[in-house]
Amino acid sequence: MSLDLAAIRIAHDRIRPHIHRTPVLTSERLDAASGASLFFKCENFQKVGAFKARGATNAVFALDDETARRGVATHSSGNHAAALSRAAKLRGIAAHIVMPSNSPKVKVRAVEGYGGRIVFCEPNQRAREEACARVLAETSATLIHPFENEDVMAGQGTIAVELLEDVPDLDLLLCPVGGGGVLCGTAVAAKTLRPSIKVIATEPAGADDAARSFHEHRLVYQEQKNTIADGLRTNLGAVNFALIQRYVDDVITVSDEAIIAAMRALWETMKTIVEPSGAVPYAAILEEKVDVCGKRAGIILTGGNVDLDALPWMKF
């Protein structure tokens, strides 16, 4: 794996015309509540409503013309699926998308809107991979893995480059972890640009394979995930685990109750829509799982794609 800051800067140059440079927002109210200075990198304002636009766009535009003509394929619960469909549309090629049957409707509609060709599967990692393998065999498309692809990780790492350009003196950086793509890109960029920074990964307690892997020093596979954070129901990738062991300082878990509370606090206080997966880092602060008191903390709000008809605090 040759993921480094140079690859991330090349990715930034490649994707800059196709993405937003998202803002960094602050809140005096949330600072006072936490005793810290919090800087929210708002990837919920990104193209397709999530950070995934960065990695998917880099991977698609890195393909040579002959390979690109065969199209691309992936498996994803939604945000990478939409991002890859959009990137393929920009390049004028086909995108074949395997999605779990329980994917949020808002994310399915996004894939359809960008012209992605959807194949549904059972909602577990093995079914996703098997269905994707069949699609690859039938179409000869190129797999753009949602988190084990180096070009994808390099694209995601551009988030940390932008954040540290805007706020160079951060003490720590909180990032969600599912498969590990955004965490790896973020950690490599952040630790290279600012070696003293602490990179903390945050994960739902009901999908805690990354935390268990990190603390047990071996890759742990979790068959069933039980969390509201649908974007984090994947298992940690093997190549990602190796990078995480090298660049990440800790992996901590939070309850779904804290995720919902964090999501609502961000909506109400910052007037910004954040999906459950994107609220996980702030949930770690709410549950006091990480010491931020007196520190300057960067928080990546990874996405804002929410089914507005099924908000977690609504009563039916």
What letter does residue 296 receive in the DSSP assignment? E
Instruction: Could you please state the CATH topology (level 3) that the domain comprising 53-143 is classified under.
Output: Rossmann fold (3.40.50)
CB 16 within 8 A of CB 62: no
Q: What six digits make up the tokens of 233?
A: 């129901």
pLDDT in tens, 124-150: 878 988 999 999 999 999 999 999 999
Q: Which residues fall within 8 angstroms of residue 304, CB to CB, at 6 or more apart?
A: 44, 45, 49, 50, 272, 273, 274, 275, 278
Calculate the average pLDDT of the chain: 95
What is the Cα–Cα distance from 288 to 53, expressed in whole angstroms?
Answer: 31
Token pair 């805007």: residue: 166
Domain pair 5-50+149-301 / 53-143, same fold = yes
pLDDT at 308: 85
pLDDT at 30: 98
pLDDT in tens, 201-247: 999 999 999 999 999 999 999 988 999 998 898 899 999 999 999 99
Length of the chain (residues): 316
What letter does residue 169 receive in the DSSP assignment? T
* Domain definitions of the chain by residue range: 5-50+149-301, 53-143
Q: What six digits make up the tokens of 36?
A: 């810290």
CB 260 within 8 A of CB 276: yes
Ranking 54-58, 98-102, 244-248, 291-295 by mean pLDDT, the lowest is: 98-102
Instruction: Could you please state the CATH topology (level 3) that the domain comprising 5-50+149-301 is classified under.
Output: Rossmann fold (3.40.50)
pLDDT in tens, 243-281: 999 999 999 999 999 999 999 999 999 999 999 999 999
Instruction: Sort strands 117-121 and 24-25 into parallel, antiparallel or unpaired.
Output: unpaired
- Burial code (b: 16+ CB inside 10 Å, e: under 16) for 200-230 equals bbbbbbbbbbbbbbbeeeebbebeebebbbb
3-state helix/strand/coil string of 185-227: HHHHHHHHHCCCCEEEEEEEHHHCHHHHHHHHCCCCCCCCCCC
Angle at alpha carbon of residue 54, lines to 75 and 111, rounded to 5°: 40
Give the H or E element holding residue 59. Answer: helix 52-62
Token pair 């996004």: residue: 110
Average pLDDT over residues 173-187: 97
Closest CA to 46 of 13, 23, 27: 23
pLDDT at 315: 59
